Every structure is written in structure tokens, then in C-alpha cells.
Structure 1
Amino acid sequence: MSIPIHTPKDSSLIKEGATLKKISGEFAFTEGPSADAEGNVYFTDQPNDRIMKWGVDGQLSTYMQPSGRSNGMFFDKKDRLWSCADANNELWIIDKSKKKETVVVGEYQGQRLNGPNDVWVAPNGTAYFTDPFYKRDWWKHSEQQIEIQGVYFLSKDHKTLTRVIDDFKKPNGIVGTPDGKKLYMTDIGDSKIYHYKINKDGSLSDKTLLCEERSDGITLDEKGNLYITNSNGVTAYSPEGKKLLNIPTGEGWTANVCFGGKDHTTLFITASKGFYSMEMNVKGVKP
């Protein structure tokens, strides 16, 4: 398929001659892409309760089903797959070889989490995740126990959970820089994207508005550019908040994005029923 790519500021991000490739359109709704150390990309088909795997050999397969209604996912520095599994409002770590989960956290101060949505694991092993409330058809409950739709910090030993953001309308996408010093977050409920300084104790400070855009999932490249997703497809912003690039997918909603492939220079996009790729001139970042 061929879709026009808009490059108002910087077309050098995309490999010359590259076009958006639709790998598959067999899904109900795709989300949560993340690449392991080898460049294999795992993503979720949440309504069908499965995690899919695109291998560096080009093969697409079902990796895990059921998958706890996994949504956002992230591979940490130890190449472990973290998953926001909102079947029971939990955060998981999945053993890649055994395809078996360990529940890391499922409540805050004795109350059920709203539904972990996206997660980022810092290089030091601590983690941050967003906890908005999206009513799911598979839940037996219909009310949230925690009124605040917040962002949480999880200690390295997984024993201490601290809410670090409580002033967002609906937090969603989250990603940090590879040096562990800056954290980006989307407030999809207020159509804004911010970044924060990560302090040594895990707290956040220096809240700064990057741009006023509604965004679902996000990722970073090696130059510090942030890639956001919404009804317009994928849009890249410079660290200073300048719009660099837009890649329409032709889908009603583009949910998430990551870099993967053998050299981590392929941009993988989850958009509604489709899974797409685009060859780039930049690499993604890892913890």
C-alpha cells in the first residue's frame, strides 16, 4: 500500500524510498508493541486476548493466548517482557521462554488499580506506569476504586508503589530516555504531552509541556525525537517540540509505535486492525 508521508521539517528520518508496509490486518485492535534485544517485536491484539510476535525472520505468530488482556508492554534491560494486563487490573512480567506471568502489582493502598495501560522500565530496574480508567467489557466491575487516574513509580524490589502524578485527566502513553533522566507522558484526556526530570529517588519534577496533541502510545529514537500516535497516524516531534514528520496509516486510530528489527531501525506501528512497518534512518532507544 502507498500512503503519502508528510515531512514539514525533516524528511531525513525516513529511509530514502521507504513506504509504509502493511504486514497484516487480521486483528481486532492492535496495541503495545515492544522489541526484545534481538529486534523481535511483540504486540497485543487485546480484544482477542493474545500477544503476537513478529520475528526478525519476517514471520508473524501468536506468542501467548490468553494473555491477561495485555495492553501496553515493554522490554527491560534484562530482556524481560513487562505487560499491562488489565483483565484483572495488573502489571505483569512474562517469562519469555515459559510464557508464564508473574503478577508484579495489582493494587495501590489496598484498592484495585484502574487498569495499567502503558509501562516503561528505567535502566536501574525501577518502573513507571500509567493507570487510566477505561471500562472494559470483560470486567465484572463497572466502577473505579481509585478516583485519581494517576501515574505510578515502582521500586526496584517491587515492594513500594508510589503515585508520582495525580493531576492528569487521563494518562496514557509513557516512555523515558535511555539515560534514565527524563520521562515523557501523554495526557490523552487533556490533549497534552509533557516531560519531567526523573530524580534520584524516583520522584518527578520540572514538568514541561512538549506539545498540545492527543496521543496514545509513544516512543523515542536515538536523536531524542518523540513519536506520538492518534487519529492522524504517527507524528514525530523534536526534543524542542517541533513537528518533524507525519506518517498517516489510513486507519481510524493509530494506537502505538516502537522501533525493532535486527538493527532497530524499523518503525513498527499498531493501528486499529493493522500492523505496519516503515524503514527509518534512525534507531530506537533501549534502557
Structure 2
Amino acid sequence: MSTTTILSVIAPGAALEKLAGEFSFTEGPTADAQGNVYFTDQPNDRILIWSTDGKLSTFMQPCGRSNGMYFDAAGNLWSCADDLNQLWCIGKDKKVTVVVLTDPAGKLLNGPNDVWVHPKKTGGLYFTDPLYARPYWKRDPKMQPAGQYVYYLAPDHKTLRAVATDLTQPNGITGTPDGKTLYVADIGAGKTYSYQIQKDGSLANKKLFCSLGSDGMTLDSEGNLYLTGKGVTVFDKTGKQIENIPVPEGWTANVSFGGKDRKTLFITASKGLYAIKTRTHGVHSK
């Protein structure tokens, strides 16, 4: 009888390392072209940087209570600015452009949570808009959208439409480097789905990828999908669970590959920033 050996995604001899702590709640890790990792301390309204030489610094404060983030090919940092339910595009000069204010019906967004930019210049971006009521919001609840959707923002950064409207509470989102497949975690239903991305940005062929939801997620060079929540759970490209990386915090919010060689998995978990060397490497900034 033949058996299949499953290789660990963790580099031989590597162990989880706590890089920094004493934050209120960390989120949104994403790496720039050099491999520096940007992440948020969301309740404290700041974006921080963990540089490739191991130094921690503040990039922006205040930052619209940024949550999920993603770098585009031009080096702009896209941010889900939770404070006023907006989507921000932050330039290299730190100039902020507010790109999305309302949904197609003219209502305020619930609160953009996670974002993924399509790798092709002719592509737009996708973001999730779950409802997590914040104590600092002062808006009229009647101005909220009818549901919790996944949106597609066209390349003109003006045309917005909902492309997935049947999820309970979409949260984590990422896509493949060829721009053909989008993964969306329905954390409310405890499931993650895959979709085929169409030329016009719409989604087709929704398929259950695995029966686990996620806060944030990322992909590696082998097509493995990393989901968060209780530590980091790794699924191969067929949807089979192959590993769990325990993290000593109450909640693991998000993950991203970073470092000069993209072989380090950075993990934002509650009050800490963690990292672990991997055998694989990341395929894009998120």
C-alpha cells in the first residue's frame, strides 16, 4: 500500500517567533515590493511597519482605523478604513484618496474589512463589507446596505457593484496570482468559497473550498491557502487541511508573507505580531 507524505509548509527547524507586542488588536498585514510588512493596530488608529531589517516604526496615525490592507502594483496601499466606512488609497507620499463612500444605492457601506487587488492593470479590486457595529459610529442604521456583500471596484475606481450577495458575513479575501480565482471566507457561516473571476469582474462557479471560515487569508507558491482564527490553518489547493500553526493569542486575525525572500509568514494575532519561516513563499503581497 502506498502512502502520500504531506510536507509541512514550515521550514525545517523553524519556530514561531513573537516580534512585537502590547498592541490593542493587530490586523491587515501586507508587504510592499521590498518585503517590509505593514500592519494595523486597529483600535489605536495606526499603521505600523516591520522592516526587512527587523525594525518597528509607525507609518501613519491616525489612519481611519484601518483594517485589511493590500499593496497594488504601483505601490499604493489600499486600506479598509473602518472609522467612516470607507476605502482608502494611500500613495507613497502618504496622500490619502477616499475612493469609496457609498454603495451603488447611495447608502453607507457596512465597514470595508478586507481587500484584494487584481494583479492585472486592467483589473479592479475586491473587498468584503461585513457588519461589525462599532461603538464610535454615529450614523443612522437606516443608511446601511441591505446585506453583507463582496464588492468589485472597477479599474476606473468609480464603478462599484456587489458581486456576491448570498453570504452570511464575508470577511477574509484573496486571489490567485493569475487573477483567475477569488477566495472569500464567510466567517458567519464557517465556510470558505472559491469563485472564477470573469473578464468584467463578476464572479462565477461558486464552490465550497473548505468548511472553515476565516478573518484574513493568504496564498503561497504551491497554492496552499492560509486561514486564520484559532492559530493559522493551512489547506492545500484541493481544500484538504494539511497543517495548523498554533499561535498563543486569543484570536489570529490575519496573515501575509513578507521579508526580502517572501519566505516568512507574518501573523497578526490580538496583541502581538508573530512570524515563522516557511518552506514555501508568498506569491503576492497578501
- The equivalent residue for 1:171 is 170
Separation in structure 2 between the aligned mates of residue 235 and residue 219 of structure 1, nearest angstrom: 11
- Calculate the TM-score normalised by the size of structure 2: 0.95
Separation in structure 2 between the aligned mates of residue 111 and residue 14 of structure 1, nearest angstrom: 44
- The equivalent residue for 2:245 is 247
- The equivalent residue for 1:102 is 97
Separation in structure 2 between the aligned mates of residue 167 and residue 241 of structure 1, nearest angstrom: 21
Separation in structure 1 between the aligned mates of residue 5 and residue 78 of structure 2, nearest angstrom: 35
1:259 is displaced (CA, Å) by 0.1
Cα displacement string for residues 110-148 of structure 1 (whole angstroms, at most 9, x for unaligned residues): 111110000000012410000011011221136252121
1:285 is displaced (CA, Å) by 1.2
Q: Is the 8 A contact 1:265 1:282 kept in 2?
A: yes
Residue 63 of structure 1, aligned match among 51, 55, 59? 59
- The equivalent residue for 1:112 is 108
Separation in structure 2 between the aligned mates of residue 234 and residue 227 of structure 1, nearest angstrom: 6
Separation in structure 1 between the aligned mates of residue 130 and residue 5 of structure 2, nearest angstrom: 33
Residue 24 of structure 1, aligned match among 20, 25, 31? 20
1:22 and 1:11, CA in 2 relative to 1: closer, same or farther beyond 3 A?
A: farther
Separation in structure 1 between the aligned mates of residue 18 and residue 5 of structure 2, nearest angstrom: 25
Separation in structure 1 between the aligned mates of residue 244 and residue 58 of structure 2, nearest angstrom: 30
- The equivalent residue for 1:229 is 228
Secondary structure of the residue that 1:111 maps to in structure 2?
coil
Separation in structure 1 between the aligned mates of residue 76 and residue 157 of structure 2, nearest angstrom: 15
Separation in structure 1 between the aligned mates of residue 6 and residue 227 of structure 2, nearest angstrom: 16
- The equivalent residue for 2:128 is 130
Q: Is the 8 A contact 1:29 1:273 kept in 2?
A: yes
Whether 1:268 aligns to 2:266 is yes
1:11 is displaced (CA, Å) by 4.0
Secondary structure of the residue that 1:104 maps to in structure 2?
strand
RMSD of aligned Cα (Å)? 1.4
Cα displacement string for residues 232-253 of structure 1 (whole angstroms, at most 9, x for unaligned residues): 2001101101111111101110
Range with greater deviation from structure 2 (85-94 or 144-153): 144-153
Letter in 2 for 1:103: V
Separation in structure 2 between the aligned mates of residue 246 and residue 12 of structure 1, nearest angstrom: 10
Separation in structure 2 between the aligned mates of residue 26 and residue 40 of structure 1, nearest angstrom: 20
Gaps of 5+ in 1: 1-7
Q: Is the 8 A contact 2:171 2:216 kept in 1?
A: yes
Secondary structure of the residue that 1:107 maps to in structure 2?
coil
Q: Alignment length, in residue pairs?
A: 278
- The equivalent residue for 1:4 is none
Whether 1:184 aligns to 2:183 is yes
Cα displacement string for residues 143-162 of structure 1 (whole angstroms, at most 9, x for unaligned residues): 25212100000110112101
- Calculate the TM-score normalised by the size of structure 1: 0.94
Whether 1:36 aligns to 2:32 is yes
Letter in 2 for 1:94: I
Cα displacement string for residues 215-237 of structure 1 (whole angstroms, at most 9, x for unaligned residues): 1100000111100000x200110
Q: Is the 8 A contact 2:75 2:91 kept in 1?
A: no
Cα displacement string for residues 150-205 of structure 1 (whole angstroms, at most 9, x for unaligned residues): 00001101121010000011000000001000000000000000000001111101
Separation in structure 2 between the aligned mates of residue 210 and residue 267 of structure 1, nearest angstrom: 22
Separation in structure 2 between the aligned mates of residue 117 and residue 9 of structure 1, nearest angstrom: 37
Q: Is the 8 A contact 1:220 1:285 kept in 2?
A: yes
- The equivalent residue for 1:76 is 72
Secondary structure of the residue that 2:8 maps to in structure 1?
helix
Gaps of 5+ in 2: none
Separation in structure 2 between the aligned mates of residue 170 and residue 9 of structure 1, nearest angstrom: 36
1:9 is displaced (CA, Å) by 6.8
Separation in structure 1 between the aligned mates of residue 7 and residue 248 of structure 2, nearest angstrom: 20
Separation in structure 2 between the aligned mates of residue 177 and residue 111 of structure 1, nearest angstrom: 31
Separation in structure 2 between the aligned mates of residue 183 and residue 78 of structure 1, nearest angstrom: 21
Whether 1:238 aligns to 2:236 is yes
